[in-house]
Each structure stands twice: as structure tokens, then as C-alpha cells.
Amino acid sequence: MNQLIIGDLSSWSARAWICLKLADLPFDELMLRLVPNTIMHMPDYSDSSLVPVLKVGKVKIHDSLAIAEYVNELVQGRLLPEDAMQRAQARSLVAEMHSGFMALRTECPFKLSDWKIPKPSERLSFEVQRLERLWGEAQTPFYWGKPTMVDAFYAPMAYRLHCYGQHFTGQAGAYQTQLIEWELFQAILQKMRLWSVN
Ligand SMILES: N[C@@H](CCC(=O)N[C@@H](CS)C(=O)NCC(=O)O)C(=O)O
């Protein structure tokens, strides 16, 4: 059986976990407590010292985006929209989440409870507005109507913003609420809450 190695306070792990569940693929999971510098001494789990990692036999697929794309291939593309143009846009959204929003990541680290931003930077405000614009274009209940990897990638961000006191109104807010309440997101959140010491 494939094994997904994830971390207790890891939004990237949550994204990979949701993709596997969305694809309905069987897997075992191993949750590691993310104490700084521990994973680098656990090469059996992760060569990169980061989670998530999906172990498929002897092969370790690391990085949430690589796992999402691998899983998408296994289920004949079900994790992305069928339409080619929408698929390209969906990939842009996933890529932007994966490589962007650096101020949000730095100034608002992923937490499991409410938190305050000391003094938001200009860049952080821009990124929050950017998310509001993107999410304002979402369909309901999911970005492309049916759940895709876009929703898996944005769900932890929806919750993160909520924890930092940012809840959008209008369509962006409706989408944010839907992501937070999504049963797959709530399921991984509960696991992390049980496992985390924070
Ligand atoms: N680009 C990677 C980022 C993975 C990452 O940064 N993982 C963090 C947790 S969210 C980690 O493993 N940190 C190691 C540690 O805290 O020891 C991905 O998308 O999977």
C-alpha cells in the first residue's frame, strides 16, 4: 500500500492528503511531529527533509505539487477541469499557491487556532486582496463547480486567513467558508489537531 508521510502543522501535507482522498485512492498515512530539524535525520521518510512525501513502493514522490499531479494521472485527470482552457487556468492557480503568497507564508505561518498579525506589510495586504479577487471568481461550491486540486491547494489558505481574522464577504467569502467547512479539509484538520502539541 502507498504511504503518505505528512507533518502535524503542515499545510502542504494537508494539500497532498486531500488530493489522495479526492481521488479515492487507498493509502496509509504516517504523521510526523514537525519539531525543527528532525526530518533531516530521517532519510527513510524524506530525502529532502520536507513533507509531504508519497512512498510508492521504493519510489519517494516528494512535494505537494508533484504528488497532486501524480495522483491526477492515476485517476485520468479527475483532479482538474475537463476543459483545456479551464485546466490551464486551474494549473495557474495551483502553481501560484505553490510558488507565491510569500508574505502570507512568512508573516502568517499556518496555525491550528486564532492568531493576530502584528503589523501587516504592504505586500501582505496585496496578497490578501489578490486572494479576494481570485476567490471572487470561484464557482460554488468549488472553484470549478466540482472539487479539484485547486480547492485542495486553497483550503489551508482559506483556513489560515480565517485564523488571522480575515474572512472575506461576497463570493470570495462564500468560497472561503465552503473550503473551511469542506469535509475533507475538516478531516485532515482534526487529525492535525489531535497530533499536534501546539
Ligand atoms: N514545496 C514543498 C514545501 C514543503 C514544506 O515546506 N514542508 C514543510 C512543512 S509545511 C516541512 O516539511 N518542514 C520541515 C520541518 O519543519 O522540519 C511542497 O509543496 O511540498
Q: What is the domain extent for residue 9?
A: 3-76+187-195
Residue 39 or 84, more confident: 84
- Tell me which residue has cell 496585496: 126
Structural domains in the chain (count):
2
Classify the C-alpha dihedral 99-111-79-43 as positive or negative: positive
In a shared domain, residues 92 and 158: yes
C-alpha of 44 from chain center:
24
| Protein residue with its CA nearest to atom 10 in ligand 1 | 10
Within 10 A of 24 (CB to CB), how many other CB atoms are there?
8
Mean model confidence pLDDT for the chain? 94
196 pLDDT above the threshold of 80: no
41 pLDDT above the threshold of 80: no
In a shared domain, residues 113 and 168: yes
In a shared domain, residues 95 and 161: yes
Q: Residue 150: CB partners within 8 Å, gap ≥ 6?
A: 90, 93, 94, 142, 143, 144
In a shared domain, residues 67 and 129: no
Residue 46 or 152, more confident: 152
Phi and psi torsions of 144, nearest 5°: -110, 30
In a shared domain, residues 89 and 151: yes
Best substitution site from 15, 50, 53 to test ligand 1's pocket, by max atoms within 8 Å of Cβ? 50
**Are 162 and 180 contacting, i.e. CB atoms less than 8 angstroms apart?**
yes
CA–CA gap between residue 108 and residue 29 (Å, rounded):
27
In a shared domain, residues 90 and 177: yes
CA–CA gap between residue 156 and residue 161 (Å, rounded):
9
| Protein residue with its CA nearest to atom 12 in ligand 1 | 50
Which residues have C-beta atoms less than 6 Å from ligand 1?
7, 10-12, 34, 36, 38-39, 50-52, 63-65, 98
What's 160's domain CATH number? Answer: 1.20.1050.10
6 pLDDT above the threshold of 70: yes
198 pLDDT above the threshold of 60: no
**Are 149 and 68 contacting, i.e. CB atoms less than 8 angstroms apart?**
yes
In a shared domain, residues 89 and 57: no
Which pLDDT band holds residue 197 (cuts at 50, 70, 90)? low
In a shared domain, residues 100 and 72: no
Tell me, what's the pLDDT at 113? 85
